[in-house]
A and B are shown apart, each in its own frame.
Chain A
Amino acid sequence: MSAPSERSERGGGFATTALFAFAAGLFGLVGGLPGFAGPAVGIGGVVVSSVWRGQRATRGGWRTAFSVAPALLAIAVLALTAPPVDAAELFGGLTGLSFLLWLADDPARASGGGRRAAPTIALAALAVGLAWAISLSLPTGSAEIGVAAGLLTAAILLLAILLGRPQALVTRTGPNA
């Protein structure tokens, strides 16, 4: 049995933070805010969240969970002000995905979280990519997109309610499965 390493295992998370800031900055650039306000909002949200996350206490609860709030607020502002163009849709989805990668690379947890969360994020990326490709290739008006978005939201919410007990998803059982 090998003894555990005594070194600090906290990862830096700089790469994923930079990626998230880059994606949020691009989303801000193609968004509807004037001048450089868009990138400033995006990058500012990422920086505030990263600093909050770095300084937070170790206990669970609201302090841990809500360190993501500034980044989410920035994404919401950028998404609501963005014009309905293909580039904004793409960078909106990419910003959401880079947020998940940033979330997985939590400095308070074991390093390499981003790498371990890659399969989960890849599936989400696949869904976003499919949705964007469909919206790009199919000529539709904004009303149809709205109806599709509503139906999609209803389906996902229904799925979330049905899976309110997430153990229903767990299929592997047995010792150390």
Chain B
Amino acid sequence: MNLDEPVPEPTPEPVRWTPRTYLLLGFGAGLAVLSVAVRNPVPLFAGLPFLLAPVLAGLRVPGGLAEVDLSWQSGGLSSEVVVTGVLRGRFGGASRDVGVVMPAVDGVTELAPIRYARGPTEVRFTLRWRLHEPSILTVPAPRVVLRDPLGLTERTLEGARPDLRLERYPPGLQRSASLRLQRTIPAPGESRSRTIGASGEFFGLRVAMPGEPPRRINWRASARAGRLLANDYQLERTGDLVVVLDVRPSEFGPEFDERILGVARAAVYGIAEAFLRNKVRIGFASFGEFVEAVPLSTGRVHRVRLLRAILASRRAEVAGPAERCALGLRRFYRPGVTVLVVSSWAGDPGFDLLPYIRRQGFPVVLLSPSPLPMRERTGGLDPADEPIAVRLERLERRVRLADLWVHGPVVDWDDYWTLEPLARVLRRPAYRRVS
């Protein structure tokens, strides 16, 4: 390669008409044709600006090279999402003509129009959305365009645009730091000392809380770290947890299954996050036709591994038998570990996972996302009859779920924005006891 040879400059993105241009051109041409048809010059005069404007607007689009990078993040609480982004780089024109075109995002409603704050070298924008249900979404990067002042022609600007991960799950478990699960199996390498005190085996160090008793402070470790650290004992640790996500197809159809699976995925991720914060070992398995499992572990790397596995769990085309799920869990996990099954099932008894998992020696809890909130106002019922129908459906579902209580606690989850019913079940003494 000859170094003296000038590097070819990349060409700017082509200028394109917007849909509005075609509308105006068609309107202007239509008026001109009608003017000839009715032998009246007035429609021609009225249509002349519409025919000329797109051509003149095309002449005014700056053709400079542009490279605009996007950095954006999401905020807000519960179902409210505030997306803020910053565009930086070479706009190839005035920043006031730069706009953001968001692709359609399923499960999201816009609350307010996009707002911009523009400077000479950067453009900030804010979007306000409402999520229909808890979900983990990947929002594709928006198109950044430079438009003429009339909005008739536009040029897409290139640049680095990462997708945005939107994670919204019920926040209830985040506040429930006191949740303790039954410790039914020893941790790997764990052997009980015969000289343990009242608090049990030493587990690790943690940051001392205000009002921590002096005997709990690890003074040597605190001196090394320069801040107060306290000892954490095995007895205070919670047990391990395996979350099983049921991705088998249901009678409601693929579209509905995907929607409720989105809620279930968000719940699983929220639960995993909450327990991982307490250094709990978490496993994850999805069951469609076969079991796909992530072994028990904890830590930041495991969090990423779990998130990937949760996002990869898709609705299966074929439903595997419930026994297969239980046997599969037995292959991946030791019997005795608490299993949380997330399944919206409430129908055919042969489809139910709980008795089979229970028989393999796993204490089991069922979290069942109710399909009823999603099916409200979809039956074409009279508004007066709708509450009665919903109530009857809810009662029928409760009766079906009540049969499952013989195998373990069952949580009928019909308010997607809180996991307090599950937290209440897990706070019960049976789930706090250490074996």
Q: Which residues of A contact B (CB under 8 A)?
A: 1-10, 27, 56-62, 64-66, 68-69, 72, 75-76, 78-80, 82-84, 88-90, 92-93, 95-97, 99-100, 103-104, 106, 108-110, 112-114, 116-117, 119-121, 123-125, 127-128, 131-132, 135, 142-143, 145-146, 149-150, 152-153, 156-157, 159-160, 163, 165-167, 169-177
A95 CA to B45 CA, complexed, in Å: 9
B150 interface residue, CB < 8 Å from A? Answer: yes
Q: Is the Cβ of B102 less than 8 Å from the Cβ of A80?
A: no
Residues of A within 8 A of B55 (CB): 156, 159-160, 163, 169
- Main secondary structure on chain A at its contact with chain B? helix
Q: Is the Cβ of B41 less than 8 Å from the Cβ of A149?
A: yes
Q: Is the Cβ of A156 less than 8 Å from the Cβ of B51?
A: yes
Q: Is the Cβ of A175 less than 8 Å from the Cβ of B151?
A: no
Query: Closest A-chain residue to B48, C-beta based?
Result: A128
On whether A62 and B36 interact (CB within 8 A), knowing A79-B42, A127-B48, the answer reads: no
Query: Closest A-chain residue to B97, C-beta based?
Result: A110
Max chain B C-beta neighbours (<10 A), residue from A110, A123, A145? A110
Q: Is the Cβ of A166 less than 8 Å from the Cβ of B90?
A: no
Q: Is the Cβ of B50 less than 8 Å from the Cβ of A96?
A: yes
Contact of A84 among B36, B41, B99 (CB under 8 A): B41
B249 interface residue, CB < 8 Å from A? Answer: no
Q: Is the Cβ of B119 less than 8 Å from the Cβ of A131?
A: no
Classify chain B's interface size. 35 or more
A32 CA to B331 CA, complexed, in Å: 85
Q: Give the contacts of B1-53 with A (CB-CB under 8 A).
A: 9, 11-12, 14-20, 23-25, 27-36, 38-53
A61 CA to B12 CA, complexed, in Å: 24
On whether A88 and B42 interact (CB within 8 A), knowing A1-B121, A100-B150, A109-B99, the answer reads: yes
Residues of B within 8 A of A99 (CB): 49-50
30 contacts between A and B (CB under 8 A): A4-B122, A8-B115, A10-B115, A58-B102, A59-B104, A66-B23, A68-B24, A76-B43, A79-B46, A80-B43, A82-B42, A82-B43, A83-B42, A89-B45, A93-B46, A96-B45, A96-B50, A104-B150, A104-B151, A113-B149, A114-B149, A120-B56, A135-B41, A146-B36, A150-B32, A165-B14, A169-B15, A169-B61, A172-B63, A177-B64
